[in-house]
Amino acid sequence: GLAAIGILYGALVALMQKDLKSLVAYSSVAHLGYVMLGVVAMNAQGVSGSVLQMVNHGLSTGALFLMVGLLYERRHTRMLEDYGGLWKSVPVYSGLFLVVALSSAGLPGLNGFVGEFTIMLGAYNYMPVFAVLAALGVILAAWYLLTAFRKMAQGEITKTENDADHLKDLNAGELAMVIPLVLLFFIIGLFPNLFFDKINPSVEALVSTRAAIVEPAGDQQMTQVGSNHLELTYMTVTE
């Protein structure tokens, strides 16, 4: 329950943010809710998805913070209202920001989709209502991230500080930081089994060990309850 609350709380608060850095921070809260949800499900799908999603969270959220930082270096403001029309002045930056945002939103073909979808499958097997709430979180994530991108990059340039004469696109050093992250988004999204093949053996051992511990304990408890019931019945009859 707390995991689902974390997902929805982070997403709803992110939706209300006007500061880019705050938006990314609350987005991070929501994504960690998915990790918790998969762990709580404690089945192979849920835990495997959580392990991969921890990697995805580090990549996607780290890349979002990096993109916000690169823009802040140029404009010294993180407020969405101070931007607009960046696609015309810094198209490379805008295109890469869109890819990073879609990765965080869980677009199929990118890394975020694989982890979140696997977690939701595990959550559905554990308790379907949690999977539905997690799916709602994905919709909200797409809403606040694409809304932020629209305010930043689309429309007309209304402030001279945002035109091509004042705002420079990414240089070679900055591209060298961003491009490897974007490549990892596609590698994980298109070839997830490269990672699941490494993750699954440990996860299956963990889940099976837990099942071996919990089930006998449950059987013992039921046996004890049954014994107590028989004893109580016997005492009632003899009295």
DSSP H stretches of helix in the chain:
2-15, 20-41, 44-75, 86-89, 91-105, 111-126, 128-153, 172-190, 193-238
Residue 11: count of CB within 10 angstroms of its CB: 25
Per DSSP, the three-state class of 19 is strand
Instruction: Map tokens 């965080």 to a residue.
Output: 104
Instruction: Map tokens 């990697």 to a residue.
Output: 55
Return mean pLDDT, the chain.
88
- Position 115 pLDDT exceeds 60: yes
Nearest-CA neighbor of 101 among 23, 166, 157? Answer: 23
- Position 97 pLDDT exceeds 90: yes
- Position 232 pLDDT exceeds 50: no
Q: What is the pLDDT of residue 215?
A: 57
Q: What is the pLDDT of residue 216?
A: 54
The lowest-confidence range among 35-44, 70-79, 154-163, 211-220 is 211-220
* pLDDT band at 214; cut points 50, 70, 90: low
- Position 89 pLDDT exceeds 50: yes
* pLDDT band at 81; cut points 50, 70, 90: very high
Q: How far apart are the C-alpha atoms of 225 and 200, rounded to whole Å? A: 37
**CB proximity list for 153: less than 8 A, separation 6 or greater:** 83, 85, 86, 87, 94, 97, 98
* pLDDT band at 158; cut points 50, 70, 90: confident
Tokens of 9: 């709380």
Task: Tell me which of 216 and 147 has the higher pLDDT.
Answer: 147
Percent over 90 (pLDDT), the chain: 79
pTM: 0.85
Longest dimension (CA), the chain: 98
Structural contact between residues 118 and 55, judged by C-beta atoms closer than 8 angstroms: no
* pLDDT band at 2; cut points 50, 70, 90: confident
**CB proximity list for 53: less than 8 A, separation 6 or greater:** 31, 34, 35, 38, 115, 116, 118, 119
* pLDDT band at 213; cut points 50, 70, 90: confident
Nearest-CA neighbor of 48 among 196, 229, 212? Answer: 196
Chain-centre distance for alpha carbon 11: 10
Structural contact between residues 116 and 37, judged by C-beta atoms closer than 8 angstroms: no
Q: How far apart are the C-alpha atoms of 186 and 175, rounded to whole Å? A: 16
Instruction: Map tokens 């921890």 to a residue.
Output: 54
Chain segment 160-199, per-residue pLDDT in tens? 899 988 899 999 999 999 999 999 999 999 999 999 999 9
Structural contact between residues 152 and 83, judged by C-beta atoms closer than 8 angstroms: yes
